[in-house]
């Protein structure tokens, strides 16, 4: 609501009783006193309108730290707020506030899409039985508690061990996607999740 200083001044002057003692002349002592009161009322109104806007996490600026504290951000899966833009911080707030959780493959695929990694799939492992084809993969009964999250993008910063490396170096190294931490954190507790990146 766009209310101006003149609108507040007019409202205050309208409350004055009629008569020559309560002049409405611009520049009079009474007019200057009423202008000062109108400026305070306008500032209070603007602050209240801003406070109402801060109730929406997508518009939060001054109340951003309060929203983040309320939603327990940053957590182990979120980069420190000083390294994120205002828009990214607002998106994190919205994602945390509207997230309903889930245990299905569709939930985890949707979570990855929300976090900027669309097109992922989930592979679930089923133990082999006597009814399976002889060329099917051999999975044990324990493998039904493992699942694979397939990321269509190649992993970043891949470095494969070569003959010049130390024998204690890892066979390969890569920078995991930002989706790994939230998915690991939300996976069903009785399962293990493995990530497979496109080559």
Q: What does the domain layout of the chain look like in residue ranges?
A: 5-54, 63-98, 102-198
For residues 84 and 54, give the distance between their C-alpha atoms in angstroms, rounded to a whole number.
19
Tokens of 173: 């190294």
For residues 169 and 37, give the distance between their C-alpha atoms in angstroms, rounded to a whole number.
72
Nearest to 151 by CA among 108, 91, 104, 100: 108
pTM exceeds 0.75, yes or no: no
| Interval 132-164: pLDDT, tens | 787 777 778 888 899 999 999 877 766 677 777
User: Partners of 124 in the beta sheet?
Assistant: 147
Q: Which long-range contacts (CB under 8 A, 24 or more apart) does 44-50 make?
A: 45/1, 45/3, 45/8, 49/1
| Interval 91-118: pLDDT, tens | 788 878 888 889 999 999 998 888 878 9
Which value, to the nearest 10 degrees, does the dihedral of the CA atoms of residues 64, 66, 67, 71 take?
140
Using CB atoms within 10 Å of the CB of residue 34, give its burial: 0 to 12 exposed, 13 to 18 middle, 19+ buried.
buried
Q: What is the mean pLDDT of residues 56-64?
A: 87
């Amino acid at each position: 609501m766009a209310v101006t200083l003149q609108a507040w001044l007019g409202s205050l002057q309208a409350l004055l009783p009629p008569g020559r003692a309560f002049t409405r002349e611009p520049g009079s002592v009474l007019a200057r006193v009423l202008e000062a009161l109108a400026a305070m009322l306008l500032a209070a109104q603007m602050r209240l309108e801003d406070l109402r806007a801060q109730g929406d996490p997508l518009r939060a600026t001054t109340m951003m730290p309060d929203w983040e504290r309320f939603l327990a951000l940053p957590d182990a899966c979120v980069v420190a707020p000083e390294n994120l833009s205002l828009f990214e911080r607002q998106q994190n707030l919205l994602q945390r506030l509207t997230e309903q959780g889930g245990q299905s493959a569709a939930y985890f695929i949707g979570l990855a899409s929300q976090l900027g990694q669309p097109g992922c799939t989930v592979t679930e492992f089923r133990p082999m039985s006597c009814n399976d084809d002889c060329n099917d993969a051999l999975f044990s009964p324990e493998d039904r508690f493992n699942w694979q999250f397939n990321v269509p993008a190649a992993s970043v910063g891949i470095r494969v061990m070569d003959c010049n490396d130390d024998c204690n170096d890892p066979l390969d190294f890569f920078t995991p996607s930002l989706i790994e931490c939230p998915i690991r954190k939300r996976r069903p507790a009785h399962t293990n999740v493995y990530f497979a990146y496109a080559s």
